[in-house]
Chain A
């Protein structure tokens, strides 16, 4: 079997959950997003063609190291990039409207009402001199919105929903009077105040104790189910997403290097970076051994290597990695709306359907060796997939 066969004949059957995905249009769709920062050394590209989608009722986990651009993407969506940053390409579609090209009034209308964000550090993200209840419903109480009394009731109601005990008594309290976990719940309540369709949680548990982390994650999952929201969970901790994510997007140096359903990415990670991330999770079996880590550090954003950004740390890097990054996309037939930013993808779309397919149900098999260097993009993916344990090289 050669890769090209699968491309041409399309003999592979789409999977069940992929069919579901196809039928449901995404609530939020980021396509080819490029963001640059102005620095003393000139413009630096921090996001270089990011695509992902958020669907109703499903959780997308965006995973990556610090500096990978996962927060920048979220801030671009919410419109809270720093002043030195600008979106220089791509689109952010919310219910069909491209926020990048829309007027500020349109963007402002969407914030909080249709897409909301929960920040990482609740203590600094909440205004220290305003009461908690006030901040929670502030978005609802703009001109023509709720009255003071209504707002107060809504605040108590929301605080109840997120599990803050004695909500009525504490609605007038200040942020510093709450514990870390409670403050994070306040942030979540604040984000939910106007019933958004999409909730972006930027490292919501990073600043919390491990025990509280579990509570908050469960809370988010429950709320998502109740409200049928689309949830984006941004984190650097693979362990956090293991139980909660439906889809995973792995980011590195401003690009998405692998995307797929949770079972796919966890079960059969294709990109070397994903494998390395998974491999570095502490596990009981590794007791007594050195914890594996990825050698080196992420590239300087102003000097990202061309092609695959990971190639400077990837022992499997090949010359072709310098020209075309091996982005691993959706494992099924694409919904068709994701653009082709990284170059040379059209041929590879077929690759992605075929080569991983061969791995499903065939963990140890891997592909027949293509090390001879067959022409075309097929060889690109094959090289990476040779990393499957047990594969011949």
Chain B
């Protein structure tokens, strides 16, 4: 074999090997860029709009002139839509449109409360289980298994049935009780894989305190898969709460909520269909917005979990 002339070839540059393994979170630029894609932008806009309605329902309820959901006239009970009342009247004779708009608040409040609580719990427990492993992990995993062993709906029904005071707080607590396991499972898996990465080992070797390692290295880099399902979780909670209230074990009148409205509406659905249709419409659109947003976000942030 002839010797190749050396002026043709160059030595391998030393900087060819990357210095650090790439963390699993999308780089900042890409994350903001994704907001511009229509698949994310459309549901996101809708979700923001819904949040706005929940925050300040008064702004939207008055569009047709009769914005107070509690101004009721029994004579109008169950009346069909007419001028100034695009959704008609509910059984009590109150403006249905205003009630539906105000109903946004309860559903969203519960959903956000529950998701926030479940998120905090899952981050803490997931981090502990994934980082320390050993018996800590065993205990937390067994606990998760117990809750996974429950058909959630039945469990929630039983619990709520025994609680006398049913308001936003109690219903949220029960929902959170059954929502933390799925999120914790994701968090734990994420932490398990992150904490075995080399920069965590490096930090340990350098003597960083456990809390610092957790807060600065492990948790931030495990958030991807969790963030991906947050929006989906919100959508799921809204559905669950509506279902429970519809069954009669969730919120109760006089709380203004879609579930309550639907619970009443089911008795009259053959005659006063509008009582069923309009709250359902708002509920469906809201859930769809969150679910679609969640789907789009998940595809971006955690492509492995594509369903």
Contact = CB atoms under 8 A, between A and B. Distances in A.
A292 B9 contact: yes
B7 interface: yes
A387 B9 CA distance: 12
A293 interface: yes
Contacts of A294: 9-10
Interface stretch (A89-97, A227-235, A271-279): A271-279
A266 interface: yes
B270 interface: no
Interface in A273-303: 275-276, 278-280, 290-295
B255 to A, nearest CB: 52
Interface in A373-393: 387-389
Interface size class on chain B is 10 to 19
A321 to B, nearest CB: 14
Contacts of A295: 9-10
B4 A388 contact: no
Nearest to A388: B2
Interface of B: 1-12
A392 to B, nearest CB: 13
Nearest to A289: B11
A293 B5 CA distance: 12
Contact of A293 (B1, B2, B7, B11): B11
Interface of A: 266-269, 272, 275-276, 278-280, 290-295, 314-316, 363, 387-389
Contacts of B2: 267-269, 275, 278, 363, 388-389
B7 A315 contact: yes
Contacts of B3: 279, 389
A290 B12 CA distance: 7
A268 B3 CA distance: 11
Contacts of A266: 1
Contacts of A268: 2
Given A268-B2, A269-B2, A280 B9 contact: yes
B8 A279 contact: yes
Nearest to A277: B4
Given A267-B1, A268-B2, A316 B8 contact: yes
Contacts of A272: 8
Contacts of A388: 2
Contacts of B11: 290-293
Contact of B6 (A267, A292, A293): A292
A80 B210 CA distance: 53
Contact of B1 (A278, A292, A314, A316): A278
Nearest to A314: B8
A40 to B, nearest CB: 15
B1 A276 contact: no
Contacts of A269: 2
A141 B8 CA distance: 54
Contacts of B8: 272, 275-276, 279, 314-316, 387
Nearest to B3: A389
Contacts of B1: 266-267, 278
A292 B4 contact: yes
Given A295-B9, A389-B3, 19 more contacts: A269-B2, A275-B4, A276-B9, A278-B1, A279-B3, A279-B8, A279-B9, A290-B12, A291-B11, A291-B12, A292-B9, A292-B10, A293-B9, A293-B10, A294-B9, A294-B10, A315-B8, A387-B8, A389-B2
A278 B8 CA distance: 12
Contacts of B6: 292
A82 B2 CA distance: 40
B114 to A, nearest CB: 40
Contact of B4 (A279, A291, A363): A279
A286 to B, nearest CB: 10
Nearest to B12: A293
B37 to A, nearest CB: 15
A290 B11 CA distance: 6
Of residues B2, B3, B7, which shows the largest number of chain A Cβ atoms within 10 Å of its Cβ?
A: B2
Nearest to B9: A292
22 contacts: A267-B1, A269-B2, A272-B8, A276-B8, A276-B9, A278-B2, A278-B4, A279-B4, A279-B9, A290-B12, A292-B6, A292-B10, A293-B9, A293-B12, A294-B9, A295-B9, A314-B8, A315-B7, A316-B8, A363-B2, A387-B5, A389-B4
